[in-house]
A and B are shown apart, each in its own frame.
Chain A
Amino acid sequence: MLADLLYLPALLIELAWAAIWFAPSAFVRVAASAEARTVALVIAFLAGVSEMLGQCVILVINRVPLYRFIASLAFTGGTYMVTAIFWALATILIAPLTRVGALGATEIGAVLGVVSIAFAPRLFAFLSLAPYFGVALSNLLEAWAMALVVFGLHVALDMPVGPALFCGSIGWLLSYGLRTFLGHLLARPLGRLRFFVTGSALEQTPAKILDDLAKRITGEGRT
């Protein structure tokens, strides 16, 4: 009974750890197994939660209540799953432009699995909370995830390195562009959704605190 309960968390840890260290077995497994693919999507979700934890300063500055804070973590986790799906779709759309050609129906799920599990290093994105060098650490994890997508496409889908690099990076760019485009297009409903989740327009930022202070001081004359 306990073993059944712990099976999926154990699988998640095993896959994430192996993927982080570029173990081909992890990528081959998510490409082949629907169960491992689901776990990979959970990894993407948890990476989003971790990312939000790392960026939580914006929620805290806006004094978001604790329960809404937790809801925001889940919300960001969800957006990471959507990002993984976008990235995978963009990669699939790009593939025919390379000598690999169009991917087969069975390979579409494999790409989604590879892209999702590549989010594994971002499980540590909460470390970007660290003062001063946290932001650099976050950029490093982003680059690591990108390298894992290329590696995963190469080992799990037998793509040559060149097309894997092309598909992975252009796929990322396309998904980024699509997210930005949709973000502008759906700014109002997304803003309303964000307000619904966080209970705040999240207008306060560290820079705004300093700007307000500067206005206060210059308004009264600097010392």
Chain B
Amino acid sequence: MISSILLVALGFGIFALIITAALSPLETLSWWAGWTEAELEDPSPEHRNTTDTNAGTVSHTQQYVVYLSGVASLSGNFLLPREHSFIRKLRKSAPHAVVISDVFPYSPQGLPLLESPRLFDRTWRRVQKLKLDGRESILSALINLRNIFQVMVSADHRYGPIFNQGAASVIEHALLKAGYPLGSGAPITIIGYSGGAQVALGATSFLAARFKATISVISLGGVIASDPGLQYVSKLHHIVGDGDKIQKLGAIIFPERWAIVPHSNWNIAKHDERIKQYTLSDMVHAGVNGYFGRPERNGISNAERLVKLINKILNE
């Protein structure tokens, strides 16, 4: 009796999951078709430099760095305290770079989950409150699930070209707001954490066409598909923690990354040495022992080790 109830519940759960997955590309499709009104405003000069960057403090800017958060993200303006601390450290260690951290990568319009018009914006606000109170709940898992499906939309051959074009527009908008001089060819580095790395890579081809600049991607435990963006990225720096099992999922669930598909974008980029992997010891995907972990071990925290490595990459 109990086992049959469990089976029905399991079946219902799987069906609900598939329905949710099926609905996940709708935002992208309706945005592309023009069925929604939301448009990005033009970054006019008076709007520039108002974004969350260190542009104002920088003279002789050499490069622009855009940070895309992981799948737990609700909004570009709502980063976890650990991420905030990481961004502060990064800005301090790379004063020559403009670091932009307020981009929400899981929407083709860059529309944060907390903002209207969204069907469930109230739910997402409640989740944010729970997170701020330090109470993780099943609702928090919903954010991850919602954003994971957007990562899959970005990786899908059918929807990727649309979604990634939207994500590229959002990044372009943020770069222009931060004062990126169009036509200067100033190098752009996109740091993507977890699913953010896939969106970063997906957007690369479109950004390359728009900015005509060198674009590299730094993946922090990224769950990445064999994306066409790999053809246009100057280098993909894939930073992984040796205890990070989540990033390994990418190599399993995206068949085009398998060695048996030698002509996939991933394997060609790997062969051309445009993918460089760095392994950091004693690091997992998230939490206090994750990439942004702050507790010190042997006098240095995970976040500091990470910033050091990123700085080295930026100076290469």
> Interface on A for B, CB 8 Å cutoff?
54, 56-57, 60-61, 63-64, 66, 126-134, 137, 206-207, 209-210, 213-214, 216-217, 220-223
Supposing A63-B33, A131-B149 touch, asked if A217 and B205 sit within 8 A by C-beta, the answer is yes
Q: Interface on chain B toward A: helix, strand, loop, or mixed SS? A: helix
Q: Are B159 and A206 in contact (CB under 8 A)?
A: yes
Could you tell me the distance between the alpha carbons of A221 and B26 in the complex, rounded to whole angstroms?
34
Contacts of B35 in A (CB 8 A): 66
Contacts of A128 in B (CB 8 A): 22
Supposing A60-B33, A210-B228, A213-B209 touch, asked if A131 and B215 sit within 8 A by C-beta, the answer is no
In the complex, what's the smallest C-beta–C-beta distance from A201 to chain B, in angstroms?
17
Can you give 20 A-B contacts (C-beta < 8 A)?
A54-B22, A57-B25, A57-B162, A60-B32, A61-B162, A63-B32, A66-B35, A126-B22, A129-B26, A130-B18, A130-B22, A132-B155, A133-B21, A137-B18, A206-B158, A206-B160, A206-B161, A214-B205, A217-B208, A220-B212
Report the nearest B residue to A55, measured CB to CB. Answer: B158
Closest 5 interchain pairs by CB?
A130-B21, A131-B152, A209-B161, A131-B156, A60-B29
Q: Are A131 and B25 in contact (CB under 8 A)?
A: yes
Could you tell me the distance between the alpha carbons of A56 and B32 in the complex, rounded to whole angstroms?
12
Tell me if B260 is interfacial: C-beta within 8 Å of chain A: no
Within 8 A of A (CB), among B8-65: 18-19, 21-26, 29-30, 32-35
Could you tell me the distance between the alpha carbons of A221 and B214 in the complex, rounded to whole angstroms?
12
Q: Are A57 and B159 in contact (CB under 8 A)?
A: yes
Contacts of B21 in A (CB 8 A): 127, 130-131, 133-134
Q: Which single member of A64, A127, A220 contacts B19 (CB below 8 Å)? A: A127
Could you tell me the distance between the alpha carbons of A22 and B19 in the complex, rounded to whole angstroms?
23
Q: Are A223 and B212 in contact (CB under 8 A)?
A: yes
Could you tell me the distance between the alpha carbons of A141 and B66 in the complex, rounded to whole angstroms?
42
Could you tell me the distance between the alpha carbons of A210 and B161 in the complex, rounded to whole angstroms?
7
- Residue of A126, A132, A134 contacting most chain B CB atoms (<10 Å): A132
Contacts of B160 in A (CB 8 A): 206
- Residue of B30, B212, B215 contacting most chain A CB atoms (<10 Å): B212
Report the nearest A residue to B216, measured CB to CB. Answer: A223
Supposing A129-B25, A131-B149 touch, asked if A213 and B213 sit within 8 A by C-beta, the answer is no
Interface size class of B (residues with CB under 8 A): 35 or more
Q: Which single member of B18, B30, B231 contacts A127 (CB below 8 Å)? A: B18
Could you tell me the distance between the alpha carbons of A131 and B213 in the complex, rounded to whole angstroms?
31
Q: Are A222 and B159 in contact (CB under 8 A)?
A: no
Could you tell me the distance between the alpha carbons of A64 and B35 in the complex, rounded to whole angstroms?
10
Q: Are B19 and A131 in contact (CB under 8 A)?
A: no
Q: Are A129 and B22 in contact (CB under 8 A)?
A: yes
Tell me if B78 is interfacial: C-beta within 8 Å of chain A: no
Report the nearest A residue to B29, measured CB to CB. Answer: A60
Supposing A131-B149, A132-B152 touch, asked if A223 and B25 sit within 8 A by C-beta, the answer is no
Contacts of A209 in B (CB 8 A): 161-162, 165
Contacts of A223 in B (CB 8 A): 208, 212-215, 232, 234
Contacts of A222 in B (CB 8 A): 208, 232
Known: A133-B21, A223-B213. 15 other contacts (CB 8 A): A56-B29, A60-B162, A63-B32, A64-B33, A127-B21, A130-B22, A132-B152, A206-B160, A210-B161, A210-B205, A213-B161, A217-B208, A217-B232, A223-B212, A223-B215
Could you tell me the distance between the alpha carbons of A188 and B33 in the complex, rounded to whole angstroms?
27
Supposing A57-B25, A127-B19 touch, asked if A132 and B212 sit within 8 A by C-beta, the answer is no
Could you tell me the distance between the alpha carbons of A132 and B257 in the complex, rounded to whole angstroms?
14
Tell me if B153 is interfacial: C-beta within 8 Å of chain A: yes
Could you tell me the distance between the alpha carbons of A214 and B29 in the complex, rounded to whole angstroms?
22
Contacts of A127 in B (CB 8 A): 18-19, 21-22
Report the nearest B residue to A209, measured CB to CB. Answer: B161
Report the nearest B residue to A53, measured CB to CB. Answer: B22
Within 8 A of A (CB), among B214-239: 214-215, 228, 231-232, 234
Could you tell me the distance between the alpha carbons of A66 and B34 in the complex, rounded to whole angstroms?
10
Instruction: Convert B180-219 into 0s and 1s, putting 1 for each residue whose CB lies closer than 8 angstroms to a CB of A.
Output: 0000000000000000000000000110110011110000
Instruction: Convert B227-254 into 0s and 1s, putting 1 for each residue whose CB lies closer than 8 angstroms to a CB of A.
Output: 0100110100000000000000000010
Tell me if B157 is interfacial: C-beta within 8 Å of chain A: yes
Contacts of B153 in A (CB 8 A): 131
Could you tell me the distance between the alpha carbons of A56 and B35 in the complex, rounded to whole angstroms?
14
Report the nearest B residue to A132, measured CB to CB. Answer: B152
Q: Are B232 and A131 in contact (CB under 8 A)?
A: no
Q: Which single member of B24, B158, B208 contacts A57 (CB below 8 Å)? A: B158
Could you tell me the distance between the alpha carbons of A16 and B2 in the complex, rounded to whole angstroms?
28
Contacts of A217 in B (CB 8 A): 205, 208-209, 232
